[in-house]
Chains A and B, each alone.
Chain A
Amino acid sequence: MFSIAPPIERESEREAWPAELVRRSQAGDPAAYEELYRTHVGQIHALCLRLGGPDRATELTQDVFVRVWTRIRSYRGDAAFTTWLYRVAFNVIRDSQRSESRRRSRLDDRAEVDGWPAASSSVEPEARIDLERAIASLPDRARNALVLHDIHGFRCREVAEITGTAPGTIQAHLHRARRLLKERLSR
């Protein structure tokens, strides 16, 4: 169902944020915005898959890039563009998490294998699906911290900024997530 892009270098990718594309997008240039979208859509879609669930990932990814377009002039360059982009994406996903948790059990829905890419990264396909399913079964805040820190490579301080949570709280969620994940994978 999805194709997998190779992993991106963490620090170098974030440092090389596309200033010119952002500036032109802020001026209302749709061609520049499309290029910005194509640069980041893989990361944002992966985030939406893991935090929003396979069934809503495409819709959430669209919502994120529409919201980024409407908010891009508020980006002032005082943080890396990717961090700001993830913050916008996280707000969209969090709204969805709140409404989803009221509507139905996430475990029954998100742990479905069907929505996950069948192709492999460097992890064996079955092991990877097991890991993705175990991650999907974590409580929302623990999963948010783990996905942003251990998979998407942000530091605790950056995760705190993205999620609007104190760094100490992020550390606590992260440690809980790892402990739960280790327990669930060892069953």
Chain B
Amino acid sequence: MSDHPSDTTLQLHADGELASAERWEVERHVQACPACAREVDAYRQLLGRASELPRAIEPTVDIWPEIERRLGEAAPLSPRRGRGRRNVWSVLAAAAVLALGVALGRLLPRPVTGPELAAPLPVQTPSVLVTYDEAGYASAIAELEAVLREVGDRLQPETVATVEENLAIIDRAIDEARAALLADPANDQLHRQLATNMQMKIGLLRMITDAVTADL
């Protein structure tokens, strides 16, 4: 290894979480490199100190009497009869509205561009008119989808089917906007449409994950 390992790699090495082949390679580097050896040593000390902190710290006063008093005002909720279930259905209703909006948007005529324009519009580049971070949207969507995969088993199968159906509508709209942009990359309205569709998907995923985890 000619270059120094990354800080993350050194942390993983200090934590003993590297796979054996990489661990051997990093260890060989660390033995020959005082700077990296110091970093690994500092991380090992830090991890050691953190792991020695107490994991349980009792309150000095007994707080159970106050909790017990409040329990008297709050009975255990039956599963799937509380707030979470209502939220999921209200989310599905909102999802249907969102998906309908997206579907209608796909049916509307696209803006006329190119030689069919009767009169030229002022020239404005998409970067001036529309600023959005597609990679940021994609990252947010991926994160929310991962959460949904983790908590999705709390939903009824028919609810999952409805969610997937509505997400598919939005996905089709995203794909169509992307395809249209390939043919007309300077079209500002298509950029806006793509950004709106991705925001809708993020909003829908966030509503669903919030509704499912709100029951906790």
Contacts and interface: CB of A to CB of B under 8 A. Distances in A.
Contact of A178 (B43, B142, B143): B43
A182 to B, nearest CB: 5
B213 interface: yes
B216 A42 contact: no
Interface string A1-41: 11111111010000000000000011010100110011001
Interface string B149-192: 01101000000000000000000000000000000000000000
A25 B76 CA distance: 9
Contacts of A128: 53
B59 A26 contact: no
B49 interface: yes
Interface string B38-76: 000011001101111111111111011011101100111
B46 A65 contact: no
B147 interface: yes
B180 to A, nearest CB: 30
A5 B142 CA distance: 40
Contacts of B57: 2-5, 42, 45-46, 49, 117
B42 A186 contact: yes
A39 to B, nearest CB: 10
Contacts, number: 159
From B50, B56, B147, name the one whose CB has the most chain A CB atoms within 10 angstroms: B56
Interface stretch (B26-34, B77-85, B88-96, B99-107): B77-85
A166 B142 contact: yes
Contacts of B63: 41, 58, 61-62
B11 interface: yes
Interface string A57-78: 1100110011001111110101
Contact of B49 (A34, A71, A123, A160): A123
Nearest to A46: B57
Interface residues of B, number: 47
B2 interface: no
B208 to A, nearest CB: 12
Chain A contact residues: over half helix, strand or loop, or mixed? helix
A119 to B, nearest CB: 9
A1 B61 CA distance: 9
B8 interface: yes
Interface string A81-121: 00010011001000000000000000000000000010001
A156 to B, nearest CB: 9
Given A26-B76, A61-B63, A74 B54 contact: no
Contacts of A49: 57
Given A69-B74, A122-B52, A166-B146, 4 more contacts: A41-B64, A42-B56, A61-B63, A164-B150
Interface of B: 7-8, 11, 42-43, 46-47, 49-61, 63-64, 66-68, 70-71, 74-80, 82, 84, 142-143, 146-147, 150-151, 153, 209, 213, 215-216
16 contacts: A5-B56, A26-B76, A38-B64, A58-B61, A70-B75, A72-B76, A73-B78, A73-B79, A74-B82, A84-B216, A88-B216, A132-B53, A160-B146, A165-B147, A166-B147, A178-B43
